[in-house]
Amino acid sequence: MASMDASIRLGRVAGIEVGLHWSLAIALVLIVWTLAGQVFPDMVPDQPQSAYWLVSLLAALLFYVSLLSHEMGHALVARRLGVSVEGITLWIFGGVARLGGDAATAGAEARIAIAGPIVSLVLAVAFGLITLGLDAVAGPPLIDAGCFWLALSNGTLLLFNLIPAFPLDGGRILRAWLWGRRGNRYRATATAAALSRGCSFVMIAIGLLGFFLQQDIGAVWVIFIGLFLLSAARNEEAYVLMHGALAGLRVSDVMSRDPMVAPGWITVEEFMRTYLPIQRAAAYPIKTFEGNLDGLVTLTRLAEVPSESRRATRVRDVGVGLDAVPQARPAEPVAAILNRFGSGDGHVLVLEGGRLVGIVSPPDVTRALGETVLRRDRERTSS
């Protein structure tokens, strides 16, 4: 599923980091409020209000445990198939298993995608059997209602995730099937993304009809989910096609070689007077007085220093320390470093054997991407 940063980190489950997004609090309140105020009173009337709230809270928490189990299914199968797992985040629309790479084959993609729905199916059956058992022994009616709701919710989660739209599991299963049939991951992604957009438009249309014709507030959620799926389908297509265009490119192919290293101990004024005219760049690695690599400073940071402060401000004071600047090796695939540009002021230092050999910025990758696309277009035209 789509990537999503956690606001609160809960710890690790089976070695996988689990976190919560802030939007989860909104969903939790809405679920508990709806269950305690409407669903459970309708199912089991004449119960103490405190009992409704308690069972509703427990049911909501168990539902999120179910969501976590669903995503753990994806994560554990992915790890078993050699795909790294960065973590799991629960948020307002469900859960996200953040994978650190892509499946190597269509079969692996399908197994990872189907693992979550299988977990949801098992949980739906389990809660359903518990409901039948409580009915048979005349168990507490509110507990019975809570288990029935959990069975229904896991069944709904199963069916919803099988909708053939990215980033849902059904969209990934569809992409895996097309990939296996055509033998081309990128063509399969383009087709699956087009179908995903079609599903999204249908959901948006259904939501709009429900809202305007029946004044159904629940239809607003359908609209929001449709818009989310539409955006996710476009992002997934762009992500995969970009990685396809970068396939085969190494960091050494796109990096700026042997960048000028600025002395971090001199003042900003001195740097601008003596070093900037030599080589104007967007960023400069900086070194200590002993010659050790010490971090990075960007031209933007230097320019932001007020003119009256440049004589007393060292370059090192403006820059980013080495521990905060992402690094790469020349032989690494370019696609593997794309998620590293978020830190280090948007630059990656390239080191080989502890020695600085280059620097990579997003414009370097964009330029290489454009050249690759143009070259492939020329090859396609000539053939």
Is 71 an annotated catalytic residue?
yes
Question: What whole-number distance in Å separates Cα of residue 123 and Cα of residue 119?
Answer: 6
Residue 199: partners with Cβ closer than 8 Å, 6 or more residues away: 163, 164, 165, 229
CB 199 within 8 A of CB 166: no
Q: Where are the beta strands (DSSP E) in the chain?
A: 8-13, 16-20, 85-91, 94-99, 256-257, 262-263, 283-287, 293-298, 320-321, 327-328, 348-352, 355-360
Given 17, 71, 109, 269, which residue is catalytic?
71
Closest CA to 175 of 245, 84, 99, 237: 237
3-state secondary structure of 15: coil
Length of the chain (residues): 383
Calculate the dihedral angle through the C-alpha atoms of 270, 273, 277, 279, rounding to the nearest 10 degrees: 10
Residue type, 230: L
Residue with tokens 């629309």: 93
Q: What is the set of active-site residues?
A: 71
